[in-house]
Amino acid sequence: MLRRALTAATAFALLTGCSVTTGQAPADQERVVTLVTHDSFALSQELLDGFKADTGITVKPLASGDAGEVTNKLVLTKDNPIGDVAFGVDSTFASRALEEGVFAEHASPEADKGAQRYRLDPPNRLHAVDVGDVCLNIDVAALEDVGEPTQLAQLADPEYRDMLVVQDPATSSPGLAFLLATIATFGEADWRNYWGQLAANGVKVVSGWEEAYTQDFSGSSGKGPRPIVVSYASSPSAEIGDDGQPRTKALLDTCYRQVEYAGVLNGAKNPEDAKKVVDFLLSEAVQADVPGQMYVYPSREGVALPEAWAKAAPLPTSSRSLPADEVDANRERWVQEWRTIVQG
């Protein structure tokens, strides 16, 4: 890839049109932008180094839990923000952050390259950085005799008893996304009945993605006992066998779309440099990096996916979603009702 063939500073300059400096800014001129983010944030160090070399700006990530925890911290500290930029507030929690006035306006020149497809508010306070679709994943070989389920409703059928493992929506972002997928599919009137059927059919609930995927799912390295798991559309790209074929498959008709956003924090100590960091996150160089680093799809149009993704992890085209304000208004109630149904 281009960023591996050139120095990071040169790659970033070519892809964004910026000039390349010949060295880092002197220490007394160094500018630091604190990037509040979720624990799964990752970018290639060469990109961060190249950005610093070109702009003099050091990006300092501040990991702050999962998407829900990040949002809560940003709201609680909005009068004295803990950073300059935030990344990782997703479409499930974004409406709360916007209503609380956490983010400032910024018209990024990079936004019209694709991020605007996922715009939430006209003032452009949040910019979409990546897309991650939560879907059912299956162990293809383990389901040869039974057959693959094609719709969510089939998971309640007797032939799939004790095969499904999901994450708790109270403690897991993909778990919450899957709950929302069932609400979007069956509606307010019937989603509770569906979860009652899943509970009766032996669904297993665990606290988080890692436990579900690496311990209980039979298609992962943990080789657990259950051949159906809630994971991501991109997950099969990590399960390529020696024959070059993926051992697992994402069921693309079961997906729920999550979009992760970045924005300049209101009251940021360094707002002008913070805007440059948001532009950097939307740049072609970073957008080409996020699939390999964070296993998500870039929001920017025209960015090629890794070769393995083209075969095993195409971007779903018909994912479910619910309006952010509807999720914000009902999330706590839905989770509590789910807990009563599934956990008693």
The answer on 121 and 192 residing in a single domain is: no
pLDDT at site 16: 44
pLDDT at site 1: 32
Report residue 20's pLDDT band, with 50, 70 and 90 as the boundaries.
very low
The answer on 204 and 113 residing in a single domain is: no
The answer on 230 and 147 residing in a single domain is: yes
Nearest residue to 264 (alpha-carbon basis) of 81, 130, 99, 94: 81
Torsion of CA 18, 19, 20, 26, to 10 degrees: -100
The answer on 317 and 304 residing in a single domain is: no
The answer on 330 and 221 residing in a single domain is: yes
The answer on 238 and 289 residing in a single domain is: no
The answer on 289 and 271 residing in a single domain is: yes
Label each residue of 97-143 as H, E or C: HHHCCCECCCCCCCHHHCHHHHCCCCCCCCEEEEEEEEEEEEECHHH
The answer on 90 and 227 residing in a single domain is: no
Question: Given a cut of 60, is residue 126 above it in pLDDT?
Answer: yes
Q: CATH number for the domain including 164?
A: 3.40.190.10
Number of domains in the chain: 2
pLDDT at site 13: 42
The answer on 20 and 76 residing in a single domain is: yes
Q: Is the pTM of this model over 0.85?
A: no
Strands (E), the chain: 31-37, 57-63, 85-90, 127-139, 164-167, 204-206, 228-232, 248-264, 297-298
Q: Averaged over 81-89, what is the pLDDT? A: 96
Report residue 28's pLDDT band, with 50, 70 and 90 as the boundaries.
low
Alpha helices in 201-323 (DSSP H): 209-211, 271-281, 284-294, 307-312
What pLDDT digit, counting tens, does each position of 251-275 carry? 999 999 999 999 999 999 999 999 9
The answer on 325 and 301 residing in a single domain is: no
Which CA distances in Å does 72 have to 65, 68, 100, 135?
10, 6, 10, 26
The answer on 171 and 110 residing in a single domain is: no
Provide the percentage of residues in the chain whose pLDDT is more than 90.
Answer: 69
What pLDDT digit, counting tens, does each position of 163-182 carry? 999 999 988 888 999 999 99
Question: Given a cut of 50, is residue 19 above it in pLDDT?
Answer: no
Q: Averaged over 290-297, what is the pLDDT? A: 91
What residue type is 158 in one-letter code?
Answer: P
What value does the CA radius of gyration of the chain take, rounded to a whole number of Å? 21
The answer on 202 and 68 residing in a single domain is: no
pLDDT at site 22: 34
The residue segments making up the domain with residue 155 are 134-257+311-343
